[in-house]
Amino acid sequence: MTMRRDGALLVVGDVVTDVVARHRGPLAPGTDTAAAVRTLPGGAGANVACWAAHWGCADVRLLGRVGGDSAAWHERELVACGVRPLLVVDPEAPTGTVVCLVDTDASAERTFLTDSGASLRLAPRDWSEALLDGVVRLHLSGYLLFSATGRAVVAEALKSARARGVPVSLDPASAGFLVELGVDRFLALVDGVDVLLPSRDEACLLTGLPDAADAAAKLSRHIPLVVAKQGADGALVARDGAVLARVPARPAAPRDTTGAGDAFTGAFLAALLAGAEPQDAAAEGCRAGARAVERVGGRPRSAT
């Protein structure tokens, strides 16, 4: 799979405010647990866009919906990362907020408490086919599928992309939300996507298979290219019902795994846009993921 290099990547997805609380050991019910707390810009879609720009994609655009309470801050943070923000300001809902609980005694694994706010209110009226002008790849955050208006946006975006011959990738985003949506419904909604980037848990959930390689292979019978992210076990690249490559992870000393999958996806897409083959792009994704877990928050350091 080789992409033209003279075009933009458009990401459509969520922009949220992350409140990251890094604590040591289990939470103490009914009393205080000491933690280092930081407020950072986040959101799976926004993080992917920032990592793609950080990984060398010269023209990255992001369509998302935020509240007026923090729209200016989020726009500044995106610009600082080299992303062109196309933010819709919601007149009613505040920007989504995610509380990320990170246990520093474990493998820096995280637990999310999510208030989606304005991010799941992106609606078809916010989409225009003109958004694809100059775009050679469209990436959709799976979080869009977890609201009726978001699903309508996905349908419109896929229709527009298909009419223009623009390939589309999608990251399922959340195993927990997938359970609520339903596997059959998810697979129907992503018909027309050419690259799916699930986590290991998401791939297994979508197929009912316990082994990630078997799951990726099965998914690739429905979607042309499947790249399953496996964290410390690297990534799997599958096509036409078979695993083509097993890409090893890069060594890392985890501090916060928030956004590691987004880093993988952003770097993977940037590499595809630069003409890399899928297995080489997945290796770039693993490199970005390793870098992401060694810092707090879901984004790379900004250019400023």
pLDDT of 71-108, one tens digit each? 999 999 999 999 999 999 999 999 999 998 888 875 66
Determine the pLDDT at residue 72. Answer: 97
What contacts 160, CB < 8 A, 6 or more positions away? Answer: 127, 129, 131, 132, 166
Q: Please state the pTM of the whole predicted model.
A: 0.92
**14 neighbors 119 (Cβ within 8 angstroms):** yes
In terms of Cα–Cα distance, which of 298, 273, 251 is closest to 2?
A: 273
Q: What are the structure tokens assigned to 295, written together?
A: 């810092």
Determine the pLDDT at residue 28. Answer: 87
Return the biggest CA–CA distance within the chain.
Answer: 57
**22 neighbors 102 (Cβ within 8 angstroms):** yes
Residue 67 C-alpha from the chain's centroid: 20
| pLDDT < 70 positions in the chain | 1-6, 106-109, 303-304
Determine the pLDDT at residue 212. Answer: 96
Antiparallel, parallel or unpaired: β 96-103 and 8-12: unpaired
Determine the pLDDT at residue 4. Answer: 42
> What domains are there in the chain, each with its CATH number?
8-15+44-89+119-293 (3.40.1190.20)
Sheet of 235-239: strand order equals 83-90, 60-67, 8-12, 135-141, 168-171, 195-196, 225-229, 235-239, 242-247
In terms of Cα–Cα distance, which of 196, 171, 179 is closest to 261?
A: 171
Determine the pLDDT at residue 177. Answer: 83
**192 neighbors 222 (Cβ within 8 angstroms):** no
In terms of Cα–Cα distance, which of 175, 218, 49, 226 is closest to 235?
A: 226
Question: How far from each other are the two terminal CA atoms of the chain, in whole angstroms?
Answer: 33
The number of helices, as runs of H, and strands, as runs of E, in the chain is 9, 13
